[in-house]
Structure 1
């Protein structure tokens, strides 16, 4: 959550309180950097575990423009001691994490009162009773689907049938998804449960805001930006993305990397042919199941394609796979821990990206002009994959089975071979490169996204001069 403070209109003060998950924090901090570069003063809140992610933003801007406020994460009876970020919480506890974050309201209210001396101007929307501006870490389509679920509360006709379709009649094209492909955050909602109701209320409050800010760009989601959406409260959307920085500035966006961008790029330099390497990352949130990891590892070995696999710290790779990759040396590389993904995707040798379709990964690949091999697992990833494959034509599906069903190794090998060895679908590769040009044009001075940021800054300046303030909240 961020709020304009009681400073002069020329230099409003924004309080930024990100949801403690890397996929949420990274784009919001990138947006904070864009605001700081335009003269907006910011105080960014972090808990001890997540404070490391603030370092690049603090380093990039002069002292006084961006400051950090580190607060203890509030305790909650549903959360084990020491859990204060999504990275450390199983999927079933993400709702409790969201509700627990509301415990920061008291410390933040006290912090603002100490500095403003005006208790009636505390910039917390709940206390002020004013509308806010909502920052979405997802695309417009994905955000609308999630808000639609909590707004309409649809249920499958047969509760025992995971394949029961759930439709979204207020979205362009009236899409529908099987129940099991919808966000776990909604599927675990229980009417009357304290945590569930707290989560739902969070999304309903978003729909009362005056506008949404989304990390997307007009040409990417034109279909969903053409008219106000009922599933976003008929509110305006500021499309300000892609907000990803250049590779030289992005090495530690998720914390300390397991390998430096320079080292990884030097390894990729060994491949003379452009687009001959596939980059693999299936995200940091969903725990990859052994059958999925085995199918992918088997396919990589069968095809002999060159690859970089950012496997994180928990991916259960098959016995002996990493040792065989290390022994071969030249063809493949496994990275355990956080990888410099932006730098890897923008290297000329990387031509395809096996991705879970998390929104940050989608936009980083799009900005780099890299075609995607989609393998959605959970959350908004199925929505993002459908956008890429069916609407934009910039991706080829690997599997639609998610965590529910692993594909056969033979099928994964077929997709990899067709993309890398068989030179892939030329139309998909060409469309990915077109989107990169459009993304670059959007963020350049005078581009659609650049103008949206300028308008957002002007709106913040105007809000700072009003008798009451408004908030920008991240969910």
Structure 2
């Protein structure tokens, strides 16, 4: 039997940030396994991130293009997570400089791709695809509610009545359940928008190009996002919306999942051995993703809350990036690790999150509600304690509350939680009888069904491959 996508050439272009790349690289693995010929575009300093994917899929080729020079981005920085958060729009605009080199590559290729699958932060590739007469599919690493709000923001351009009121509520009445958010909780890409500013206008046009693109593929699944998926289909005016998640490594071996992000101060084997010594569902895992670094005030209150809670825990501490003042961030309080010895494990740097969450001992996660983490927690059947910090994380936390699968414990990058409240909520999170535990186990089963042989996500992946297999390059 022929493999469905055999002979169909597709260009995959991830946005260079860990939370965006991992999911699209997992999708790329699945597409290659379904017979598609893949070329994946990266800049030189991000090539190493592709190593696990390329070793598992020798048929995937790479297109390495130089990162476009940009005065505000330091030399050698080609990954968004290595930049201060406010430079995100600059990174997005800078990557638009790859339009012409990529156009030249297409026109000189003997058998060019018939479609581009690119991250939602690379909306300009829709215009590239239109220029070439081929299709562009936007890839969303975030959930349905977050994407629906993003589309509404850039289409409608809501404004504040009082430009100085960060707490003014903005509502989105056309989205299911009519979500409302304080202005400060909208995406900083949007709140930083200045009409006429070149970077701002580039970002807006990027988002409008996502809406205009031929298709949309999402790292989500029907049972989790049914209402918003239908809303997006209605808004886009077509059914080429594929929910193919939760995207995971094609092969779930320990070595593969342990290497998904980087090196750790504690080996994966030591972490797993430590977890082996604890009861089922009684350990709380604490992480704030690959970007967020806590201030020392936040660290102190969180450490105090963990100490007072009495629970067993694994805490992944993100170390400061260049430009953050030494001594003001990510300092574990003196003596803390000695006082919780045996009960708590502190990891500095990268932690093998997928392995930790899947361990039987882990029952809850305190996190920032990045979408990858949300999905990984659902797959593992782990209750979520939400402390959203920025951007889509507020929408994800709201979605979890609506689903009764998570509990908000704090919100905002500047907020300092109350340690006594944290201690109580953390202690209660490992109670087997909590409604959130029952609900997250239901979602866990739904995710398992979605990714099974006849599941909704597998069917959507097959539909995506079938649609791509029907395309032809107009110059052939």
Compute the TM-score of the two structures, normalised by the length of structure 1: 0.90
2:410 alignment counterpart: 399
- Please name the residue that 1:217 is paired with: 221
Shift of 1:234: 5.8
Pick one of 264, 278, 282 that aligns with 2:288.
282
Distance 1:170 1:145 in 2: 10
**Mapping of 1:159-308 within 5 angstroms?**
159-229=163-233, 232=236, 236-245=240-249, 246=252, 248=254, 249-271=256-278, 273-308=279-314
Q: In 1, distance between residues paired with 2:115 and 2:266?
A: 46
Q: CA deviation at 1:112?
A: 2.8
1:83 aligns with 2:86: no
User: Could you tell me how far 1:56 is from its partner in structure 2?
Assistant: 1.1
Q: 8 Å contact 2:316–2:349 — kept in the other structure? A: yes
Query: 3-state SS of the aligned residue for 1:50?
Result: helix
Instruction: Note the C-alpha offset of 1:40.
Output: 0.9
Q: Per-residue deviation at 1:319?
A: 5.2
- Structure 2 equivalent of residue 4 of structure 1: none
Q: What does residue range 429-448 of structure 1 map to in structure 2 within 5 Å?
A: 429-448=437-456
In the alignment, what sits opposite 1:453? 461
CA contact (8 A) 2:264 2:349 kept: yes
Shift of 1:338: 1.1
Tell me, yes or no, if the aligned pair for 2:46 and 2:79 is still in contact at 8 Å: yes
Aligned to 1:46: 42
Match of 2:329 among 311, 316, 320: 316
Question: Matches of 2:367 and 2:114 in 1, distance apart?
Answer: 47
Secondary structure of the residue aligned to 2:365 is strand
Q: Distance in 1 between matches of 2:145 and 2:295?
A: 28
- 1:349-399 deviation per Cα after TM superposition (whole angstroms, max 9, x unaligned): 00000010000000000011111001100010010001001x211111111
Match of 1:374 in 2: 386
Counterparts of residues 99-178 of structure 1 (less than 5 Å): 99-116=93-110, 124-128=128-132, 132-178=136-182
Quote the Cα distance in structure 2 between the aligned partners of 1:461 and 1:230. 25
C-alpha distance 468-296 of structure 1, shift in aligned 2 (>3 A): farther
The 1:294/1:324 distance shift into structure 2, 3 A limit, reads closer
Match runs of 1:45-64 below 5 Å = 45-61=41-57, 63=58
Q: Distance in 1 between matches of 2:78 and 2:71?
A: 13
Alpha-carbon separation, structure 2, partners of 1:326 and 1:66:
48
Distance 1:291 1:466, change over 3 A: same
Which stretches in structure 2 are left out of the alignment for 5+ residues? 117-124, 321-327
Alignment equivalent of 2:346, drawn from 334, 349, 362: 334
Q: Return closer, same or farther for 1:189/1:235 CA change in 2, 3 Å cut-off.
A: farther
Q: Deviating runs (4+, > 6 A) in structure 1?
A: 117-123
The worse-fitting range, judged by mean Cα deviation, of 285-294 and 115-124 is 115-124
Residues 153 and 121 of structure 1: CA distance in aligned 2, closer, same or farther (over 3 Å): closer
Which range moved further: 67-76 or 223-232? 223-232
Contact in 2 for aligned 1:99/1:195 (Cα 8 Å)? yes
* Deviation digits for residues 134-188 of structure 1 (CA, Å, limit 9, x no counterpart): 1111111111111211111111111111111111122111111010111111110
Matching residue of 1:5: none
Deviation at 1:289, TM superposition (A): 2.5
Q: How many Å apart are 1:19 and its aligned residue?
A: 0.7
Higher RCO structure, 1 or 2 (CA under 8 Å, sep 6+): 1
The structural deviation recorded for 1:409 is 1.2
Does the 8 A contact of 2:139 with 2:218 survive in 1? yes
1:327 deviates by 6.8
Give me the whole-angstrom Cα distance separating, in 1, the residues matched to 2:245 and 2:440. 16
Query: Given the two structures, how large is their TM-score scaled by the length of structure 2?
Result: 0.89
Report SS of the residue matched to 1:76: coil
Kept in 2, the 8 Å contact 1:52–1:255? The answer is no
Aligned pairs for 1:12-51 (under 5 A) are 12-51=8-47
Contact 2:14-2:24 within 8 A present in 1 as well: yes
Distance 2:67 2:159 in 1: 34
Give the CA deviation at 1:310: 1.1
Conserved? CA contact 1:151–1:231, under 8 Å? no
Gap regions ≥5 residues in structure 1:
1-7, 470-475
Distance of aligned partners of 1:306 and 1:118 in 2 relative to their CA distance in 1, 3 Å threshold: closer
How far apart, in 1, do the equivalents of 2:56 and 2:18 lie?
Answer: 19
Give yes or no for contact 1:145–1:231 (8 Å, CA) kept in 2: no
| Conserved? CA contact 1:212–1:235, under 8 Å | no
What whole-Å deviation, never above 9, does each CA across 1:34-86 have from its counterpart, x for those lacking one? 1011111111122233222101111112x2x2122333211113323222211
Per-residue displacement from partner, 1:274-296 (whole Å, max 9, x unpaired)? 01100000112233233222211
> RMSD over aligned Cα, in angstroms?
2.4
Contact persistence 1:297–1:317 (CA under 8 A)? no
Name the CA shift for 1:447/1:336 in 2 (closer, same or farther; >3 Å).
same
Contact 1:208 1:233 (C-alpha < 8 Å) held by counterparts: no
